Structure 1
Amino acid sequence: MRLFQNYGLYPSYVPRLNKLAANTRSFTERRDVFLHDRFGASHFLQPVLDGSPDAFFTNGDDEVLQRRWAREQGMPGEPALEAILLAQIEHHATEVFYNLDPVRYPSAFVAKLPGSVKKTLCWRAAPSGNADFTAYGAVVGNFPSILDMWRSKGCRAELFFPAHDPAMDAYGHGARQIDVVFVGGYSRHHRARARTLEQVAHLAGSRNIVLCLDASRLTRLAESAIGRLLPLRQHRRPEAVAGIARPPVFGRDLYELIGSAKIVLNGAIDMSGSDRGNMRCFEAMGCGALLVSDAGRYPAGMDSETIVTYDGGSDCLARIEASLNDWTEMKAKAERGRAAVRDLYSKEQQWALFRSLLERL
């Protein structure tokens, strides 16, 4: 099977990638630096991580990466990123195209794929406005309610999951000096999460609390000197949060941070309804931290035996304190969670499920 997997970079991650890859010169060197850093690795299929000669991986929105490939292949002028991606797919003689950036490359892009491509899938676990993915063989994701939404828009939708990244096994075996860590976004889509974070931030006087927040552009503007003169108070982070907030962390630095924490706090974005199981759940459990997350419908292996759930802000504080005060038992629960994610969501099982999906398309 000639597999092509396309990913997309998170804007806040790009400066880190540019620093890590500063001494690279070729397409392969920059791509390998990215893959080694493990950013988003829960989504990367086994043949990609194994370096299979039949698998091709790229970040179709990484202009530095893509233009290197275009130059190396002798493409004239300054072709558009879409043209480069199509050329890569044709050059690779792709049979299966798996796209994790379908908003950028929707149905209109699928219509341009070369004839070698027989099957197409895209991952999308969030609403996407009027984006059209109906030309894909299937939209995949792990939130059943969002899959139902895609079906209502005329797409075929299938259940699929992130996987345990084997690189996580190297992290989280030393002292866990951080009591609670949260890593994630802070924007208008995270109102319930923001209320919880504010309450947890007040624990910083007695506990080691680390909040690594990727604030939205509007939040950054609201907190700037100019923004404080504008009617943007509702977009500013509470002082308790802003006072201890750190920049976001990614890749292996994220694994290291989680591996140094007893508890990883998680909170779903407002648009996910009652479905739970975002990638942070897999990362937290995979690195051996205790996942404390909001109540909802979780996938198999994420239950009362392996994680702690809370119903609201005050309940979250109570769960955190109870967990830290009974850490011996909670550490055992975290280890059960680590084993569950490793056993139920291995790369081998993810790849087997992917192949099963292809057979049904």
Structure 2
Amino acid sequence: MRLFQNSGIAPSYRPRLAGLVAGISGFEQQKDVFLNDRYGAAHILLPVLGRHPETFFTNGDDESLQRAWARENGLGEDTPLADILLAQIEHHKTDIFYNLDPFRYDAAFIRRLPGHVKRKIAWRAAPGRIDFSGYDLVLCNFPSMRKLWEEQGAKTAHFFPAHDPELDIIAANRNRDIDVLFFGGYSRHHQRRRQILEAVARLAGRHRVVFHLDLSRYTPLAETPLGWFGPLKAVRRPAAIRKVSAPPVFGRAMYAQLGRAKVVVNASIDMAGPDRGNMRCFETMGAGALLVSDSGIYPAPMRDGETMAVYQQPQDASETIERQLDSGSWDTIGWAGHHAIREEYSKKRQFERFLELV
């Protein structure tokens, strides 16, 4: 089976990746740097991470990476990124195209694929209207999202992120100097998250709290006198949050912070619906920190009081965290969470499920 997996990178990760690949011109070398940094590793399939010779991986929106391949394969400097991706698929003689970025590469791109591509599969776990026609299957671990895609005419199946075994050595460290950690986006879509983070930030007087926030581009303006009124108020951080804020972290830098944290707060965005179990949950539990997350419908290994802790309302989050820190149960439950994720959601099981679907 000749498998092609396409992914993408968030704008905020681009500066880190650019620094990591600085001075590296080759496609394979740049790709190895990316894969070694473990960005998005929960979604990258086992044979890709293992560099299996019949697999091909790329980030179709990474211009540096894609231009490197284009140069090495005789394509012009002005070749559109979609055309480079198509050329890679043709060159690879792909059987299975697995796309983590269907918003960018939707049905219009799928219609251009060569005939040797037998199965076209997409992953999508965020809302939005996408033309999935041409895709044989859309994968997601959230039932409510699958229902949304099915209402739009797509065929769907249950699939899931997986534990990155690189986190095992990080989980083994139980001597941790950050009491409460959060990392994630902070924008107008995160108003409930704002309430949760503001409540948790008030623990900073008694505990070490660190929030690595990926801010809206409007936040700096919102936090000047010009932003005190009007729509920019939605992206302005309260004073308690600003005091514990730090720049966003990604890849192995994020893993390093997870290894220092006793508790990691997860706060779903306002559009998430009742389903829970986003990639942050897998990463936190995989790293052996205690996941403290908002109430909702979780996959079976994520059990309140056994492998994680759940709070009901934003104001309850700080009480839940302080109780776990004061009792020391963050260690016991965090370690149990690590074992649950490692056993139930291994890379091997993830790929076995993928093979069932294709």
Compute the TM-score of the two structures, normalised by the length of structure 2: 0.97
Change over 3 Å in CA distance of 1:108–1:172 after alignment to 2: same
Is contact 1:134-1:156 (8 Å) kept? no
Segments of 5+ residues of structure 1 without an aligned counterpart are none
Residue 60 of structure 1 aligns to which amino acid in structure 2?
Answer: G
Paired residue for 2:310?
309
Is contact 2:188-2:234 (8 Å) kept? no
Percent of pairs with identical residues: 52
Residue 172 of structure 1 and its aligned partner are, at CA, apart by 3.4
Question: How many residues are aligned here?
Answer: 356
| Separation in 1, partners of 2:316, 2:38 | 33
Paired residue for 2:265?
265
Q: Does 2:147 correspond to 1:153?
A: no
Change over 3 Å in CA distance of 1:60–1:224 after alignment to 2: farther
Residue 29 of structure 2 aligns to which amino acid in structure 1?
Answer: E
| Separation in 2, partners of 1:339, 1:173 | 11
Residue 218 of structure 1 and its aligned partner are, at CA, apart by 2.7
1:34-93: CA deviation from partner (whole Å, max 9, x where unpaired): 000000000000010011000000000000110110010011341000000000000000
| Separation in 2, partners of 1:65, 1:108 | 23
Segments of 5+ residues of structure 2 without an aligned counterpart are none
Paired residue for 1:135?
134
Paired residue for 1:54?
54
Paired residue for 1:248?
248
Bigger shift: residues 186-195 or 44-53: 186-195
1:115-138: CA deviation from partner (whole Å, max 9, x where unpaired): 110001111001113x21122111
Is contact 2:212-2:247 (8 Å) kept? yes
SS of 1:271's partner is coil
| Separation in 1, partners of 2:333, 2:67 | 47
Change over 3 Å in CA distance of 1:325–1:59 after alignment to 2: same
| Separation in 1, partners of 2:19, 2:336 | 36
Is contact 2:192-2:270 (8 Å) kept? yes
| Separation in 1, partners of 2:320, 2:226 | 39
| Separation in 1, partners of 2:314, 2:230 | 29
Residue 147 of structure 1 aligns to which amino acid in structure 2?
Answer: R
Is contact 2:133-2:154 (8 Å) kept? yes
Paired residue for 2:196?
196
Change over 3 Å in CA distance of 1:228–1:8 after alignment to 2: same
1:136-180: CA deviation from partner (whole Å, max 9, x where unpaired): 111111110010000000000111000000111121333111110
Is contact 2:171-2:335 (8 Å) kept? no
Paired residue for 2:25?
25
1:37-76 residue pairs with structure 2 within 5 A? 37-76=37-76
Paired residue for 1:282?
282
Change over 3 Å in CA distance of 1:77–1:338 after alignment to 2: closer
Paired residue for 1:96?
96
Compute the TM-score of the two structures, normalised by the length of structure 1: 0.96
| Separation in 2, partners of 1:114, 1:159 | 27
Residue 331 of structure 1 and its aligned partner are, at CA, apart by 1.1
Paired residue for 2:166?
167
Paired residue for 1:342?
342
| Separation in 1, partners of 2:332, 2:241 | 30
SS of 1:25's partner is coil
Is contact 1:222-1:230 (8 Å) kept? no
Is contact 2:132-2:154 (8 Å) kept? yes
Paired residue for 2:118?
118
Residue 223 of structure 1 and its aligned partner are, at CA, apart by 2.4
